[in-house]
Chain A
Amino acid sequence: MNTAVFANTHPLTLRLDQCRKGATVRVTGLIEQPLFGAQDERVGLRLKELGFLPGAPLKVIGFGLLGSDPLAVQVNGTKFALRRAEAAKICVELIQA
């Protein structure tokens, strides 16, 4: 998948789980993730508390072993491991591919 093209046509619908390793992005917002069911709201709150807020610069620094899962990202200088399910809650815009 060519994320750069995707980002240009739909800048608001690019999600963190669609980004490549090394991509620098900015968080634009959080969306629902049905996989988390009833605790989706709680997951969203914790993501925000950890700094995944609109405007926060974010860098994709690595991927796990199978299916590029989980992702390692750096937000505000702190590194986190997120699964694709969590990353798919985070909408981003590309700063640098």
Chain B
Amino acid sequence: MSTPIRFALIGNPNCGKTSLFNRLTGARAKVANYPGVTVERRSGMVTGLTQPAELLDLPGTYSLFVTSPDEQVARDVILGQLAGERRPDLLIAVIDACNLRLGLRLVMELKSLNRPIILALNQMDEAKRRGISINTAALAKAIGMPIIETVAVNSQGVADLRKVLDDYAQQPAMPEGEQTLTLSDRQESVEALYAEIESIISQHVIQPAHLPRWQDRLDSLVMHPLLGLVVLFSILLVIFQAVFAWASPVVDLIDAGFSGLGELVATFLPDGILKDFIVEGMIAGVGGVLVFLPQIIILFFFILVLEDTGYLTRAAFLLDRPMRGLGLSGRSFIPLLSSFACAVPGIMATRTIADPRERFITIMVAPLMTCSARLPVYALIIAAFIPEQAAWGIFNLQGLTLFALYFAGVASAALIAWLMRRRASGREEYPLLLELPTYRWPMAYHLLLGLRERAWIFIRRVGTIILALSIVLWFLASFPGAPANATQPAIEYSFAGQLGHLMQPLFAPLGFNWQMCIALIPAMGAREVAVSALATVYAVGEESIDVALGSALAASWSLPVAYAYLAWFVYAPQCISTIAVVKRETNSAKATAFFTIYLFALAYFAAWATYQIASALVG
């Protein structure tokens, strides 16, 4: 067979599709976009089959009558209506056994398409624990499709599923004919379909009347209008403390490792240009950024745990009304929270927002959420300028400063969203309609995969963009060399020095020196490179390479300048990939230009104001 057979996983949001996908493909997902749209397309080859078979993980949907861009993609792929995307040969409908009705409804709708379909009844272990008893064989007969019981945490059910897929792959049935669906076709039949489902469920399923008590108790705490907010802010504060405090031993270890490596290499290489290049250009540049991997992993760990447990939607529920006052909604909370890790997936996640105006505002303010690439810059400057001491007994002053920087971003986002919303009033409303999934213990396997993916993305950036920028920067900082009768450090004569001096007058009102200006340029490629850029700029021409960058900065910057530099990084739309993703998601050059200009203007103003105010206070 020339093209491999194609399976597609389809199901409600939160039904455990993605963990099944990971199990079936050995967690080797190829992540890309669907042609022409920005919805993420995850695909992979199913492992352990006799035939090559591709598996698509479709976006979660409740219905084929879609209300958001990602649901639209799921529907179009199933119907074979997405240009450039082959229709799947077999649908694997996934149902959360603890949420049968909602899942069965979609399955019955899919069944009416007359496509080959099998049903994976997922989370059977949890269902049994809750006292849900399903007569699977009878249910399969009643709905007219094979059912495989699966438990995403162990491989038993997955092996059964794989066997069914293998049998199918060997002799696929290929029905012909196109389906067309219209909204009016279905409107009357929702009731009829549910009546059928009720009858099926009452015959083949025994369900307890209530959810486990602790679920409801937990909800009455975390969804309480006041206590819930206390819980939410405590969680956020713990996250920021953890990012700063827990990571530091590992950070120190990596830091020491790279210094050691640099010294080791330095002893083996003869003095000269090659040694400078490897030690100062490559090892120092890459090490300076890789040091922040533990912090990024901790941040993503918390986001993934909060997402997997089902807590995030509760936070969205709590924040919906306050955020609506700003032209956003509970639905914009999740994209914005992801933007704390990186604005690119955050902006892409806005596709679940049905209201176009709200989606636009969310995109515009997403980069104000402090992304993990800013963390290295903040961490460096905080460590150099803020004393490491306890505040009010339990908090650490450095951690609090970090929290303040994050808060500045959030507060500015709120203000800007509010200003944007004031310009658009008197339009129709969009519904919230958010499912609050049952709480679930996060699965270590799923969590580790998620972390591995994030860590890998970061390491790949370090190995490609960041390494390349470090090399270019080292070159700019090293050539041309100082003339024989030089009176100043060599870097003053280099391209980088000249460029920095050229930019400096523009940034003089902010207090930036020319070294800081140089670092802003490669930071456009990736913000965290500002750290290695500063390392290069300050290390080149130094006597020894192990002069800690932090103390070099502390020696040459005044406190107001350090604050101003932090303020710049809170706002500046640095990192070209963010600007590119805004262009792609808004599909408007005007919106992208507005986005870029407003953020740069804000950065300039904030840094200027910070510098002037801090100078007045300190001086």
Contact = CB atoms under 8 A, between A and B. Distances in A.
Contacts of B321: 64-67, 69-70
A72 B183 CA distance: 28
A17 B220 CA distance: 19
A61 to B, nearest CB: 6
B320 A70 contact: yes
B101 A76 contact: yes
A86 B432 CA distance: 8
B279 interface: no
A10 interface: no
A72 B63 contact: no
B330 interface: yes
Given A50-B102, A62-B219, A70-B321, A81 B316 contact: yes
A85 B431 CA distance: 8
A43 B187 contact: no
Interface string A63-97: 11111011010101111111101100000000000
Most interface-central of A35, A43, A78 (chain B CB within 10 A): A78
B431 A62 contact: no
B432 A43 contact: no
Contact of B436 (A35, A43, A45, A81): A81
A72 B223 contact: yes
Interface in B416-470: 428-438
A36 B428 contact: yes
Contacts of B436: 72, 79-81
Nearest to A37: B428
Interface in A19-56: 35-39, 41-43, 45-51, 53-54
A49 B225 CA distance: 28
B175 to A, nearest CB: 26
A61 B219 contact: yes
A76 B183 CA distance: 25
Contacts of A76: 101-102
A67 B2 CA distance: 60
A55 to B, nearest CB: 9
Contacts of B330: 70, 81
- Dominant SS at the A interface? mixed
Contacts of A82: 431-433
A70 B432 contact: yes
Nearest to B317: A81
Interface string B215-230: 0100110011110110
Interface string B317-339: 11111100000001000000000
A81 B211 CA distance: 17
A91 B320 CA distance: 23
A51 B194 CA distance: 8
Interface string B348-366: 0000000000000000000
Nearest to B105: A49
A85 B355 CA distance: 15
Contacts of B81: none
Interface residues of A, number: 38
A88 B177 CA distance: 42
A47 B318 contact: no
Contact of B101 (A51, A54, A86): A51
Contacts of A39: 428, 430
A43 B433 CA distance: 9
Contact of A86 (B102, B105, B211, B433): B433
B139 to A, nearest CB: 17
A37 B186 CA distance: 21
A50 B428 contact: no
A49 B433 contact: no
Most interface-central of A39, A65, A67, A85 (chain B CB within 10 A): A65
A64 B313 CA distance: 13
A81 B434 contact: yes
Contacts of B62: 46, 49-50
Contacts of A38: 428
B191 interface: yes
Interface in B307-321: 313, 316-321
Most interface-central of A41, A49, A86 (chain B CB within 10 A): A49
A37 to B, nearest CB: 3
B428 A49 contact: no
A35 to B, nearest CB: 5
Contacts of A54: 191
A43 B319 CA distance: 22
A45 B428 contact: no
Contact of B67 (A42, A78, A83): A42
Nearest to B331: A81
B149 to A, nearest CB: 20
B60 to A, nearest CB: 13
A80 B435 contact: yes
B412 interface: no
Contacts of A65: 225-226, 228-229, 318-319, 321-322
23 contacts: A36-B428, A36-B431, A42-B183, A45-B190, A48-B190, A49-B65, A53-B191, A62-B220, A64-B317, A64-B318, A65-B226, A65-B321, A67-B321, A72-B317, A77-B99, A79-B219, A79-B437, A81-B435, A81-B436, A83-B431, A85-B429, A86-B431, A86-B432
Interface of A: 35-39, 41-43, 45-51, 53-54, 61-67, 69-70, 72, 74, 76-83, 85-86
* Nearest 7 A/B pairs, CB to CB: A37-B428, A79-B436, A81-B434, A81-B317, A48-B190, A62-B223, A66-B321
